[in-house]
Amino acid sequence: MVGPAPADLVARREAASDSVVEVRGLVRDFDVSASWLHRTLSGEPRRVVKAVGGVSFDIRRGETLALVGESGSGKSTIAKMVVGLLPPTAGSIRIDGTDIWDPANAPKLRDLRRRFQMIFQDPFASLNPRWRVRDIIAEPLDVFGITRGRATRDRVGELLTTVKLTPEDGEKYPHQFSGGQRQRICIARALASEPEFLVCDEPTSALDVSVQAQILNLMRDLQDRLGLTYLFISHNLAVVRHMADRIGVLYLGGLAEVAPAKAMFRDPRHPYTRSLIDAIPDIDMTGRERTPITGEIPNPLDPPPGCTFHPRCPFARERCRREVPRAFAEASGALVACHGVEEGWVGQAPAGQKAV
């Protein structure tokens, strides 16, 4: 067997154990081929979409990691795999050190499920319309055997108060609430099992702008009070800037860049991140020339070779068309997957870029 571990390895392991979530080499393919009969008759091959292609990241205790990307970039697919709703094709997801998709861990999963929860995108679909709100919030309490009878009732009232509704609201049905109130109910349900890690899949994208801020502030407030860790999925950079400690930028199922939020908004590294940040409307930048991203996100059925961003990248060179870039750590702490940044020929904007 292995002898006693060297001191520095132990220290490193302890540092690593402060990650609530460790995702390694996550891959998810979707088979979109026609039916077997149709394929046989027409001689079509199987068609597979690589929705997520080898994504790795850690989420540290108490932080908010945001994943941003266009639609079709694999954000929601990652969220579903992280909470165990969708099995990954390859790779591993560890929550508190336990691989949730390892069949050997199935017995542990019941207890582990208490520790992570999810807030969904559509507050009109995520609450069962036939259930009273108090039953919706009490379901996790019953399933995990946390409370019984009267105690459940009290706890549901408490949770409703936590999300700034009243215990009396528990008697109503979901259709009697507005979108923002429903999202509060979803948050109350998610908090019922006292989780430490919450996956938020575009929690405000279905809400009015005026309500979005209330929900986001509530989530931040809860994070401070309960020490929650968030994986925050969004396509809205303004929302992400408000919420995230670190940001991962997804492009066609791969991470282009992962960097601390402040650093990313101050000094985006990857060409894709640059164009995204450039595209944020900003009063101070009036009159500034922007670099628009040209073209569309490529068809994931037939992704471009090499770097998947090269057809739209203003800096693309020969190497980008041949070789898939690997993520490397910059001095600033950012992880960037770009040949140009690595070799130093991305960074100076092309001539005439900043001039008005």
Q: Is residue 215 within the footprint of other proteins (CB under 8 A)?
A: no
Cβ proximity to other proteins: between 182 and 270 the closer is 182
Burial of 267 (0-12, 13-18, 19+ CB in 10 A): middle
Q: Is 130 in the site for other proteins (CB under 8 A)?
A: yes
Candidate ranges 77-85, 158-166, 210-218, 255-263; the one touching other proteins (CB under 8 A):
77-85
Rg (CA), the chain: 22
Q: In terms of C-beta density within 10 A (0-12 exposed, 13-18 middle, 19 or more buried), how is residue 282 classed?
A: exposed
126 part of the interface to other proteins, by CB under 8 A? yes
DSSP label at 86?
S
Give, as ranges, the residues between 135 and 154 that touch other proteins (CB under 8 A): 139-140, 143-144
Q: Which of residues 149-188 bind other proteins (CB under 8 A)?
A: 186
How far is it, in rounded angstroms, from Cα 356 to Cα 354? 6
CA-to-CA dists, residue 11 to 15, 96, 166, 237, angstroms: 6, 17, 47, 36
Alpha carbon 114 to chain centroid, angstroms? 19
Q: How far apart are CA 156 and CA 318, in angstroms?
A: 60
Cβ of residue 7: shortest distance to other proteins, in angstroms?
Answer: 40
Q: Does 113 interact with other proteins (rule: CB under 8 A)? A: yes
Q: How far is the CB of 318 from other proteins (least distance, A)?
A: 44
Candidates 129, 281, 292, 352; binder of other proteins (CB under 8 A) is: 129
Among 118, 187, 313, 334, binds other proteins (CB under 8 A): 118
Among 68, 127, 156, 337, binds other proteins (CB under 8 A): 127
The DSSP output letter for 143 is H
- Side chain identity at 158, as an amino acid letter? E
Instruction: Say how many residues touch other proteins, by CB under 8 A.
Output: 26
Distance in angstroms (rounded) separating the CA atoms of residues 279 and 13: 40
Q: Does residue 84 interact with other proteins by CB under 8 A? A: yes
In whole angstroms, the minimum distance from the beta carbon of 126 to other proteins comes to 4
Binding site for other proteins (CB under 8 A): 80, 83-85, 109-110, 113, 117-118, 120-122, 125-131, 139-140, 143-144, 186, 189, 193
